[in-house]
Amino acid sequence: MEDFTMVEVINSTGRKFFRPFERDLKEFLERVLKMEGREKEVVVVLAGDGRMKRLNEKFLFKKGTTDVISFDYGDMAEIYVNVDYATRLGDFAFYTGYLALHGLLHVLGYDHKRKDMARQMEEKQEAYIGLWKYS
């Protein structure tokens, strides 16, 4: 089977990020997909509070902004990462990668609603975040 695993990172914020960051994020998430043995096209959208608030209210029916929202469409997924939230946490690059990873694990079927699944998701997240190297 042809490998169609691909991650595309889109900056929808209008903010300028240091150039290698988007490439590093793409490569990190592609590496996680390979380690999970999964093929999926993933679009990661770097967004701000305003867009995240609109998505959260429209699709999750929750008031206010949120940190990450992911949509799984089978062989394809969209992950929206709130870079304003990541910035507020203190280390923009680290937390943007962390939130993107969290969203990716969700579209791979991991969840944190059940205790057993939450533990598994946390273990995966902790193992993979160690691979997150950004320029």
Q: Report how far residue 27's alpha carbon sits from residue 59's, in angstroms, rounded to the nearest whole number.
A: 28
Residue labelled with tokens 């608030």? 53
So what's the pLDDT on residue 1?
40
Domain extent for 50: 6-129
Q: Is residue 93 part of a domain?
A: yes
Determine the average pLDDT of the residues in 53-77.
97
Give Cα separations from 35 to 64, 88, 109 (angstroms).
34, 30, 15
Indicate whether 45 belongs to any domain.
Answer: yes
Residue 21 has pLDDT above 80, yes or no: yes
Q: Judge whether 69 lies within some domain.
A: yes
What CA–CA distance (Å, rounded) separates 93 from 75? 27
Q: Tell me: the pLDDT tens digits for 69-121?
A: 999 999 999 999 999 999 999 999 999 999 999 999 999 999 988 888 899 99
Phi, psi (deg, nearest 5) at residue 61: 55, 35
* Residue 71 belongs to domain with CATH number: 3.40.390.30
Sign of CA dihedral 35, 40, 45, 49: negative
Report the number of distinct structural domains present in the chain. 1
